[in-house]
Amino acid sequence: MTAREIIIKDTHRGLYYEDGVLQKTLGAGRYTLPRHWDLGFYRTPKVEVELVDVRERELTIKGKRF
């Protein structure tokens, strides 16, 4: 098996989890993630990356009139 590769755009950040625990935040770029192996006596952590959009958004809130 080969490793997985992800690309994170400059408008996003990646939350890097190992076995469900947040380890670090990834910036824009190309990353190679290890495969998960569970052979009984040897186990690598399960790695997941969740993408988060960090672009600014404009929100209009109408005020109440009294």
Domain boundaries, the chain: 4-53
> What whole-number distance in Å separates Cα of residue 11 and Cα of residue 17?
20
Under 8 Å CB-to-CB from 5, ≥6 apart: which residues? 30, 31, 32, 33
- pLDDT tens for 44-64 read 888 999 999 999 988 888 887
- pLDDT tens for 15-49 read 999 999 999 999 999 999 888 787 877 888 889 99
Residue 2 reports pLDDT greater than 70: no
At residue 53, what is the residue type? D
pTM of the model: 0.75
| Residue 61 DSSP SS3 | coil
Q: What is the pLDDT of residue 66?
A: 66
Q: What is the pLDDT of residue 34?
A: 85
